[in-house]
Amino acid sequence: MGVLNVTPDSFSDGGRFSDIAAAVAHGLSMVQEGAAIIDVGGESTRPGASPVDADDEILRVIPVIERLRAQTDVVISVDTSKPQVILAAVAAGADLINDVRALGEEGALEAAAATQCAVCLMHMKGSPRDMQARPHYDDVVKEVGTFLKERAGVCRAAGITADRIAIDPGFGFGKTQEHNLQLLRHLRQLAIPVEDGAPSATFPIMVGLSRKSTVGQLTGRPAGERVYGSVALAMLAALNGARIVRVHDVGATVDVLKVLTAVMCEREI
C-alpha cells in the first residue's frame, strides 16, 4: 500500500488543480512501482494535530480519488474516520476504508456497512492530540489484540463480512518505542481467528511503520533519511505475518518483499 497524502502544505490548503494533478501523478507512479493499493489521506493524524472539517477533507480527497479511479484499476483506499467522507469516497470509486479510529466515530460504522467496501481497523490509544502523552499498557500485545477483536466483531455484527476486514496495531499511535517493538516482535499473536470462518482463517494484518519516529529512534535519522530503516521494518513485519504494508517508498519495499517471498516461499510468510 502506497501512501498518498493530500494534506495541506504551507502553500495551499488543498483543492487546487496543480495539487490534485501532482497527487494523481504520484499515485500513478506508485502503481508503476508495484503498489497494489493506494491510500489517499486528507486528514493529518500527526501527534498533536487538530481535527479537519469534513467538507475540507472531501475537497482534498475526492478529486484525487475520482481521477485515480478513471486511470487505474488499483485498489483505492481512503484514510478517513468520517461518515461523510466514507460515503463520498466510495461514490468516487474507493474500495477500502482505512480508519485509524477503527470506525469508532459517530456514524462511521453505519456508513462503511452501507457500502460494499473493505475496512482496515487500526488501534490507537487516545486521540492524535494526546496519544503520545505517557501511554501505558499492562500487556500491549494483549490489549491491542482484544481491541481489534472487539472492533472486528462489531463490524461483523453491523453486516461487514469477514472477508472485508483487515486489522492494524497502529504503530506509533499511543505507543512508546518499547510498545512498538513488542508489537512487531509478537505480531503473529494478532492473527485473530475469524469466528465461524475456515479453521485457520484469520483477519489480514496491515502495518504502517514507514518513516515513523520509531525508525528515527532506531537509526538516529531524520524523516527524510529513513528509507532503509523503513524497508527493513516492512520486511520484518511481513516475515512476522503482515499481509499489507503501508509505505511511502514503494519501489524499494516491493524489491525487498520480492526477495523475501522468493527465499521464504517454502513456508508461509
Least Cβ distance, residue 202 to ligand 7PM (angstroms): 17
Task: Judge whether 94 and 117 are in contact, CB under 8 Å.
Answer: yes
Nearer to ligand 7PM, 45 or 253 (CB): 45
Nearer to ligand 7PM, 14 or 208 (CB): 208
Q: Residue 167 is placed in which grid cell?
A: 486489522
Which residue is catalytic, options 60, 151, 226, 246?
246
Least Cβ distance, residue 36 to ligand 7PM (angstroms): 15
List residues binding ligand 7PM (CB under 6 A): 3, 44-46, 79, 98, 100, 120, 122, 168, 170-171, 206, 208, 212, 246
In the residue annotation, 82 being an active-site residue is answered as: no
Rounded Cα–Cα distance for residues 199 and 33 (Å): 35
Q: What's the CA angle centered on 172, arms 143 and 241, to 5 degrees?
A: 65
In the residue annotation, 212 being an active-site residue is answered as: yes
Q: Residue 266 is placed in which grid cell?
A: 517454502
Q: What's the CA angle centered on 38, arms 34 and 40, to 5 degrees?
A: 155
User: From start to end of 14-74, where are the E strands?
Assistant: 37-41
Which residue is catalytic, options 164, 175, 212, 226?
212
Chain residue whose CB lies nearest ligand 7PM = 208
CB atoms within 10 A of CB 261: 11
Least Cβ distance, residue 264 to ligand 7PM (angstroms): 23
Least Cβ distance, residue 168 to ligand 7PM (angstroms): 4
Nearer to ligand 7PM, 87 or 207 (CB): 207
Rounded Cα–Cα distance for residues 166 and 77 (Å): 12
Q: If phi over 0 gives left and psi between -120 and 50 gives alpha, with beta otherwise, what is residue 42?
A: alpha
Nearer to ligand 7PM, 98 or 240 (CB): 98
Contacts of 89 (CB under 8 A, 6+ apart): 40, 61, 62, 65, 78, 80, 97
Nearer to ligand 7PM, 63 or 170 (CB): 170
Q: What is the CA radius of gyration of the chain?
A: 18
Active site residues: 212, 246
